[in-house]
Chain A
Amino acid sequence: MLDTAPAVGAAPDRRSSGPARPRRRPRPGPYLLIAPTLLVIATLMFWPMVQIAIMSFQKVGNRQLAGEPAEQVGTENFSTILSDDLFWQSLRHTVLFAVVAVSLTLLLGTLVGLLLHRLGRRMSAFVAAGVMVAWATPPITAAIIFYWLFGSTGGVVNWFLDLLPDVLVGGDWIDHNWFATPLRTYTVLTVCVVWQSFPFVAVSVLAGLKSLPGELLEAARVDGASAWRSFWQITFPLLRPIFLVLLVLSIIWDFKVFTQLFIMSGMANRDAFNLSLYAYSEAFGGMNAKLGMGSAIATVLTLLLLAVTAVYVRIMVRQGETS
């Protein structure tokens, strides 16, 4: 959640890089107003962040939680992680999953957003309410439902695939194990995560579309532009800031997917770990907590996300300057 701050904060940058406005002297009023919020955020978020940074260079277990001083271990936590094959495998899974899931989420979300814009008032409200249910479903519930759907005992998906003609999908689906290999597990995970996250994109895109001046699209239609062309030439450029924010948010969300994967495959399927599960298994899973190690992984994950965010903030600022 914290990581979204730069992305959101960047939006005004874009606007301010437009025509120069006369500079005013800073007034204390606004700062006083946000001070309480800042204080809360600093205590509850920045301070733990600092602690995590400190702990990533220490050996911290249950004894240290109870008050014993922690031992400084230098960069040992980091070198252990970086020399672990499982870390690199988990990183690969995390990145690949994010690429696929984010693309699908944005694609599906945009399409549904456009659909909602086209639909009549009642139908639009009905469909919007329908997709919002998916968004409102808690991740644990969604994960359990998808685990059942794709289960090998009484799973609806296997039953349905088995009913389809073998020419289309092949036979022997009834005992298909959807969680036997990483590729299969991530297929289910992608479906589950995309299903849950596209409504947010759809509704945000819809909000953007509603704010567009109708004349532009009308003019394009009069000039005989196809729907495809008017989307890419008019709608997309105008909504670019929204798409960028959605992109960064989706990357951040999909990078740290934990709950769904934990429920669907869990600790017994190390070959399907992503970074969050790897961190959990290294740091928290048992009675011998290794919080220093967990902090080190968290730091790596945070740095990765900050890097992603930084790249996009940069692109956004650049685009603001050129447009």
Chain B
Amino acid sequence: MRFIKIAATAAAIALAATACGGDEGNDEAGAAAPAKLNVWMMGEGTPEQTAFLDGVETEFRKKHPNTDVVIKYVPWPQVATTFQKAIAGGEGPDVTEIGNTDVQSHIEQGNLADISDNFAKWADGASLNKTALANDQGDGKTYAVPWYGGVRGVWYRTDWFSELGITPPKTWAELTAAAKKIQDEKKVPGIGAPSDQTNAIMSFIWGNGGDVAVKEGDKWVGKLDQPQVKEAIDFYAGLVTTEKVAPEKYIGKNELQGPQQDFALGKLGMYIDGSWALKEMKKVSEKNADKWSVFPIPTKTGGNAPVMAGGSDLAVWKNTKAKDVAFDYITVLNNKTNAQKWADYSGFSSMFTDVKFTDPKLEAFTAIAANTKMAPLSTGWADFEQTKKVIPNTVKGVMQGKPSADELKKANEQANTLLNP
């Protein structure tokens, strides 16, 4: 059974850790220059990413010639268990990338080193995005630094918009109307509204003045039962159910399980995704790539809805024996030149306010990123968003015809429990 396996693995690792803990203990006295710096990167890793990181290592070794940087890629689905093993076995990385929704959990569990002093001395740190930085701090101390982030907008076809005389929608009504027009004239679904896309749905909730939860005193109090939220969910689900401008085939799926491919193939009018999607869509089909463009997710009455900034941060693991060297690696990896290179390769925005994309197509995202909002800074958010997928499951229920008021009431109860772990 799975649980036995996990328990057995944990036990085996614990044994191994105690067995070999003895000989490693004292050799590297002092934090001067460890022989090896373990760096964990999230995701599968690509040849381009490895080449980029090799360049970073060369630059880093100018300063620390005796330190070998060892990169380990941790695929996203295995992130939680890999960190659990690191915690149980005491064999963690020195530097690690962390998904920004997990940072607060790591801080609370005491997994990250306090890097407040190093951070204060780092000149570039001052131009980092303040909202993103707040997510890396707790009790006035800094535990991580923002690396890259991504915001989402609505991808559309410029040729179809100009042919049908549509201007980028500024309100929900205009969005529906645009989708309807495309659907009628181009015989493809107007817009993709998958149920498993928390971050896009959050923009509709925020864009209508609603929120998931608000901190009152020490506690997070769920706000999903408020009328603004109900209106937003009704609108989003209504794209599928009442307006019928979004197809049913994306119910229960995320934006990568259909919408992205369909849009790239010219089989879908609009869909919500980030700047990094450009690279992926070109892999599907280059044919119409020059006609793709982006507009910000609209609010109900007009204007850009706040967007959730997804992304990754860089932290020093608590058990590292060379905190300063580890932080030096972060400052090389995320100096402005490398930040520029990384943004252009990955399609993710740099978290430096003064580093922009080179590709003009992605410029719209810089404007969208001006209006970001963080999800509740609760250690339970990771559970709420990723494990329990409360919003996706709620929206799925509504799309299948369950009353939104009941579903949101249940979701709100979950928010109250999960966000106050």
Contact = CB atoms under 8 A, between A and B. Distances in A.
Interface of A: 1-2, 44-45, 47-49, 51-52, 61-63, 65-66, 151-154, 175-177, 179-181, 256, 258, 265, 267-271, 276, 279-281, 283-289, 294-295, 298, 301-302
A287 B383 contact: yes
Interface string B389-417: 10011001100100000000000000000
B10 to A, nearest CB: 7
B87 A65 contact: yes
Contacts of A270: 388-389, 393
A267 B386 contact: yes
A289 B250 contact: no
B109 interface: yes
A298 B2 CA distance: 9
A284 B80 contact: yes
A145 B392 CA distance: 25
A288 B382 contact: yes
Most B Cβ at <10 Å: residue of A265, A268, A279: A268
With a 10 A CB-CB cut-off, give which of A48, A269, A287 has the most chain B CB atoms.
A287
Given A66-B87, A267-B389, A294-B3, A286 B383 contact: yes
B261 A153 contact: yes
Nearest to B379: A288
A52 B3 contact: yes
A176 B10 contact: no
Given A63-B109, A298-B1, 11 more contacts: A2-B1, A44-B8, A49-B4, A66-B90, A151-B257, A153-B267, A267-B388, A268-B389, A270-B388, A287-B102, A289-B80
Contact of B383 (A62, A180, A276, A285): A285
A141 B279 CA distance: 26
Nearest to A85: B410
B249 to A, nearest CB: 4
A166 to B, nearest CB: 19
B32 interface: no
Given A2-B1, A62-B84, A65-B87, A269 B396 contact: yes
Contact of A295 (B3, B11, B393): B3
Contacts of A302: 1
B382 A45 contact: no
A288 B80 CA distance: 9
A156 B267 CA distance: 17
Given A52-B4, A153-B261, A287 B83 contact: yes
Contacts of A62: 83-84, 87, 109, 111
Contact of A268 (B80, B195, B248): B195
Contacts of B110: 63, 66
Contact of A175 (B102, B248, B252): B248
A37 to B, nearest CB: 16
Contact of A285 (B80, B251, B258): B80
List the 9 shortest-distance A-B pairs measured between CB atoms, nearest first: A285-B387, A268-B196, A287-B105, A286-B387, A152-B249, A65-B88, A298-B3, A48-B7, A177-B249
A47 B392 CA distance: 39
A180 B397 CA distance: 10
Given A180-B248, A286-B382, A289-B84, A268 B3 contact: no
B380 interface: yes
B247 A175 contact: yes
A70 to B, nearest CB: 13
A280 B2 contact: yes
A154 B261 CA distance: 10
Interface in B131-169: none
Interface of B: 1-4, 6-8, 10-11, 80-81, 83-84, 87-88, 90, 102, 105-106, 109-111, 195-196, 247-254, 257-258, 261-262, 265, 267, 379-380, 382-383, 386-389, 392-393, 396-397, 400, 421
Given A44-B8, A287-B106, A267 B249 contact: no
Nearest to A272: B252
B247 to A, nearest CB: 6
B81 to A, nearest CB: 7
A181 B3 contact: no
22 contacts: A1-B1, A62-B83, A62-B84, A66-B88, A153-B249, A153-B261, A180-B248, A267-B387, A268-B196, A279-B2, A281-B388, A284-B81, A285-B386, A285-B387, A285-B388, A286-B386, A287-B83, A287-B379, A288-B379, A288-B421, A289-B80, A294-B3
A265 B387 contact: no
B42 to A, nearest CB: 13
A284 B254 CA distance: 21
A83 to B, nearest CB: 13
Nearest to B391: A268
Contact of A288 (B380, B393, B396): B380
Contacts of A66: 87-88, 90, 109-110
B11 A180 contact: no
A281 B7 CA distance: 17
Contacts of A177: 248-253
Contacts of A284: 6, 80-81
Contacts of B386: 267, 285-286
A258 B105 CA distance: 27
B312 to A, nearest CB: 14
A168 to B, nearest CB: 22
A181 B249 contact: no
Contacts of B11: 47-48, 51
A236 B109 CA distance: 59
Nearest to A297: B3
A294 B400 CA distance: 30
Contacts of B248: 175, 177, 180
B252 A258 contact: no
A48 B109 CA distance: 25
Nearest to A176: B249
